[in-house]
Amino acid sequence: MAGDPWSDAENDATVAAYFALRADGDLVKSAVYRDVARQISRSAKAVEFKFQNVSSVLDTIGMDWVGGLPPRHNIQLSLADAVGRYLAQFSEVPLHQPTGGMAEAGGFFIAPAPHRRNAPPSVEDAKRLEVSIRLGMADRDAANRALGQAGEAAVVAHERAALTDRGRPDLAARVEWTARDQGDGAGYDVRSFEVDGRDRLIEVKTTNGWERTPFHITRNELAVAEDNRDTWHLVRLWNFRRGVRAYALRPPLEAHVALTATDFRADLH
């Protein structure tokens, strides 16, 4: 059976055992491996490797993995499906509250966007992207209003702190949480300022997942970005719950991301 693809039943049993181990730190890993191996007629070492694959899935979607089982990214996507089934059944989803106070205080650095310099993606990146897409991370993040609002609040705090630190408390006091106070139709979430008083219009996209997790962007946001190239910024917050990190994208967005149409408007003739 070694080398054969794992069945859904095998994957489900493995994922359930992994989460049991994750929930109970008193369990002995080697004993858990042997118990699962007996259930599914695989070797204990194969189960251990598969547990590390589960760690990879959890790391990709922003959940804590079991210590001592570092992620191995050479996974079969059927295992990601099994993790998705487990989370759907037991309603365990990544929380939006960060583990520390850094996000609420705005204490993070907005880095330049990651680039590949025309190189093909690594095997690890390709697998993590497949997992993100397979588990619908862009849809999950877009539907998680609490996560989105927490990200916007973090950026508001960041902008106010940055302006105050740079000697412009007057501008810091004028930073506006546009999406909360005026609705989400403006094409940006936060109105901030450069030190010289010029506008900074910031669209915030937040995920608990890794830095290349796909995200949704609306036609209106794209239009506003195009019309305000000098002032519009997209700030991507990632790894939000476990230790927020951030980077910024500037128009034209097509220079940084591949845009895929996901819906169409249907007007009757």
Q: What angle do CA 143, 100, 136 make, to 5 degrees?
A: 25
pLDDT, mean of residues 2-12: 89
pLDDT in tens, 139-156: 999 999 999 999 999 999
pLDDT in tens, 236-269: 999 998 899 999 999 988 888 878 877 656 656 5
**What is the C-alpha to C-alpha distance for residues 67 and 80, in angstroms, rounded to an integer?**
19
Q: What is the DSSP pairing of strand 199-206 with strand 232-238?
A: parallel
Higher pLDDT residue, 48 or 109?
Answer: 48
**What is the C-alpha to C-alpha distance for residues 89 and 195, in angstroms, rounded to an integer?**
49
**pTM for this model (two decimals):** 0.89
Please, are residues 246 and 109 in contact by the beta-carbon 8 Å criterion? yes
- In 3-state terms, what secondary structure has residue 94? coil
pLDDT in tens, 81-98: 999 999 999 866 555 566
How far is the CA of 169 from the CAs of 164, 172, 173, 193, 194, in angstroms?
Answer: 4, 5, 6, 11, 12
How far is the CA of 92 from the CAs of 87, 136, 211, 240, in angstroms?
Answer: 5, 15, 22, 17
Q: Is the pLDDT reported for residue 221 higher than 60?
A: yes
According to DSSP, residue 98 is labeled -
Domains of the chain, by residue range, sit at 8-90, 102-255
Residue 112: the pLDDT is 85
**Residue 55 pLDDT grade (very low, low, confident, very high; cuts 50, 70, 90):** very high
**Residue 128 pLDDT grade (very low, low, confident, very high; cuts 50, 70, 90):** very high
Q: What DSSP letter does each residue of 218-257 carry, written as one string?
A: -HHHHHHHHHTTTTEEEEEEESHHHH-EEEEE-S-GGGT-
**Among 114, 86, 83, 64, residue whose Cα is nearest residue 241:** 64
